Chains A and B, each alone.
Chain A
Amino acid sequence: MSSRLNFIPARLLQAIPVVFGVTLLVFFMAHLLPGDPAIAMLGDKATEERIAALRTQLGLDQPIWVQYGIFLAHLGQANLGDSLTYGRPVTELVLRAVPVTLSLVLFALVLSMVIGIPLAGLAATRPNGVNDLAVRTYTLVGQGMPQFWVGIMLILFLSLKLRLFPVGGYGSNITDHVYYLFVPALTLAIALSPTLIRSLRSSTINVLGSEYIATARSKGSGGVALFRQHVLRNAIIPTVSILGVNLGYLMGGSIIIEKVFALPGLGSLMLNAIFSRDFPTIQGVTLFVALFVVLIGILTDVVYTLLDPRVNFGSKERE
């Protein structure tokens, strides 16, 4: 079994050019800013000495590839520069914000599965039936609602009218965190569930038509047991890839949700940095998120391999 995971080193190797590309793109962000990069990066904190110091530090007088080299060297030391607004290393700010965003995204993933799996199953058992139409309507509407607006509506109902949940914020201990994250995660889950449901519904319909489901029924399996042991185990496989791809989109969505609910995660960090023209932070967060998405891509392949024993990435070229 473990031999099928042998593809991981090769996959990591494959990811390296992409990682380089990502760093290149982020590096060039600084040079896309109008005017002198050092002045742009320092913003309104720019003084003659500071500009000079930064120029030396980043090697801005050197050829561009040397600058890139310096950039990469800094990255190797996990040095993303210092935040203009807070004066702290960007790396530190990012690491402090990551748990919040990560918890939010994971919580949203779980909730979207809680919502999506039963709905997809319901829709797939009788395609084009009443349940199916209802679920598909939900999917269509769900994809048409702006995420932040859904968040605001949920606040309106759950927090303001019904007073069941807080309006925003993060809380101070673990239980608090879960409580405060629920509505934001629900918002993201509502945004993600249509994609999940569409894919799962389609693959469930396929699975239900297979011979091995007939075999399982011939052994007396049925109802929820059949769904859990046989149908879901097979139907979830293609959905895993799709979820993996959408996780990146989800991280982007969490930026906005963090603003709506005042959560101190990466998204808030990024947005505040934009408004205070804190370029190093913008660069740092962007880089971190992009690298994380690449990692998720690899993880998705791993999960896929674990779920489907027929798959063997290592043996032949995929695509």
Chain B
Amino acid sequence: MLETPLPGVTELPGVTNLLSVTDLTLGVKRSNSSTVIVDSVSFDVATGDRFGIVGESGSGKSMTLRAIANLLPVGVQVMSGSIRYNGQELVGMNRGKRRGLMGPEIAMIFQEPMTALNPVMRVGEQIAEGPRRHLGLSRKAAMDLAVSMMGRTGIPDPARRALAYPHELSGGLRQRIMIAMAISCRPKLILCDEPTTALDVTVQRQVLRLLEELCDDFGASLVFVTHDLAVVNQTCRNLAVMYAGRMVETGRVKDVFRDPRHPYTKGLLDSAPDFDQPHRPLIPIPGFPANLANRPNACAFAPRCPFVRDHCLEESPPLAPVEPGRDAACFYSDEIFKKVTV
């Protein structure tokens, strides 16, 4: 519910969103054809907001994140669209300038901390790397900062642990190291790619709480990509739902969960276990995730949608407002859902 930016956060006049993604399209270009992986995705993240992107594997949510972080794998390119961070256009930005942003402005936390940490470097040094590069700290000063960050993320005995190698630490500790690394230069935007998926449930909660605390303390915004609805529910304020590379619904988490406006979102919620209603049957979504290679001009979800009509197979529905602050990509959203919620 943050309408005004936190004190101490600078921004250009007239710009209220820290991150603004507009019609971002990512694809793989081959010699005579190209496959679109992410199709015209748009969303905004305000300062201090916690924004979740939900979807199945292959929905394109990780790619979207990587595009923002300039970490697209070889072969995947931004085909069109814009990514504006603090008013600056990231797409096509000069390489050196772009690298300068990564660390002090934008940071990323990865899913699997074992493979995401350099196995031959001590963890303290890895955390200290960013501050040394971006803040110009000396080796000792950067190390001290790393140790304090480690303490901040709840790692016991940080001074000793800083000398350890990644394989000597548990999964939970490694993820805290990743978090310490991400926040070391006090970024304003933290991108998380399924940071808790590889962790035990108990550790998950701790890590999520830690992330929330840190965001509040530093005034940072969070973009959180996951397939786990419970995590989104706990951590995020706003969310977007992605399917087959397209964004199908956006809005506040509470609203969307209570009252989804897209058949896919509803399907997701119905098929997820809910502790508050333990006896509610789990209804799976029939069929398989869409094949990104064949993209007919139709609604991507149509083959699996229980409410499908003829028009759905002829045209792809744009992401359009169904209420102030809520968008859905379904021609018949109002008919299907406003009927249900009276």
Contact = CB atoms under 8 A, between A and B. Distances in A.
Contacts of B70: 217
B187 to A, nearest CB: 10
Given A215-B110, A237-B120, 11 more contacts: A210-B115, A211-B110, A215-B108, A215-B117, A215-B178, A218-B182, A219-B102, A220-B134, A234-B119, A308-B120, A309-B120
A214 B71 contact: yes
A220 B96 CA distance: 9
B103 A220 contact: yes
B133 A219 contact: yes
B167 interface: yes
Given A214-B71, A218-B108, A220-B130, A310 B100 contact: no
Contacts of A308: 119-120
Given A212-B115, A218-B69, A221-B133, A233 B103 contact: no
Interface in B280-335: none
A307 interface: yes
| 8 smallest beta-carbon distances between A and B, as pairs | A220-B102, A218-B108, A211-B115, A211-B116, A220-B99, A219-B130, A309-B165, A220-B103
Given A220-B101, A220-B130, A230 B118 contact: yes
Interface in B102-143: 102-103, 107-108, 110, 112, 115-121, 129-130, 133-134
A222 B98 CA distance: 11
A145 interface: no
A217 B120 CA distance: 17
7 contacts: A211-B112, A212-B117, A217-B70, A218-B108, A219-B102, A219-B107, A310-B167
A222 B129 CA distance: 12
Interface of A: 210-212, 214-222, 225, 229-230, 233-234, 237, 307-310
Interface string B209-227: 0000000000000000000
Contacts of A237: 120
Contacts of B119: 212, 234, 308-310
Given A211-B110, A310-B165, A220 B100 contact: yes
A204 to B, nearest CB: 14
Contacts of B129: 216, 219, 221, 229
**Interface size bracket, B side:** 20 to 34
Contact of A234 (B100, B102, B118, B165): B118
Interface of B: 69-71, 95, 99-103, 107-108, 110, 112, 115-121, 129-130, 133-134, 165, 167, 178, 181-182
Contacts of A220: 99-103, 130, 133-134
Contact of B103 (A219, A225, A310): A219
A303 to B, nearest CB: 13
Contacts of B71: 214, 217-218
B36 to A, nearest CB: 23
A28 B107 CA distance: 67
A25 B181 CA distance: 57
Contacts of A210: 115
Contacts of A215: 108, 110, 116-118, 178, 181
A209 to B, nearest CB: 9
Nearest to A231: B118
Contact of A233 (B108, B115, B117, B121): B121
A237 B130 CA distance: 25
Nearest to B95: A222
A229 B117 CA distance: 13
* Interface core residue of A211, A216, A219, A310 (most chain B CB under 10 Å): A219
A80 B134 CA distance: 62
B186 to A, nearest CB: 13
Contacts of A217: 70-71, 102
Contacts of B117: 212, 215
Contact of B99 (A211, A222, A229, A309): A222
B12 to A, nearest CB: 22
Nearest to B134: A220
A307 B134 contact: no
Contacts of A219: 102-103, 107, 129-130, 133, 181
A157 B190 CA distance: 59
A237 B118 CA distance: 13
* Interface core residue of B117, B118, B167 (most chain A CB under 10 Å): B118
Contacts of B103: 218-220
A230 B126 CA distance: 10
B118 to A, nearest CB: 5
A229 B69 CA distance: 21
B133 to A, nearest CB: 6
A233 B120 contact: yes
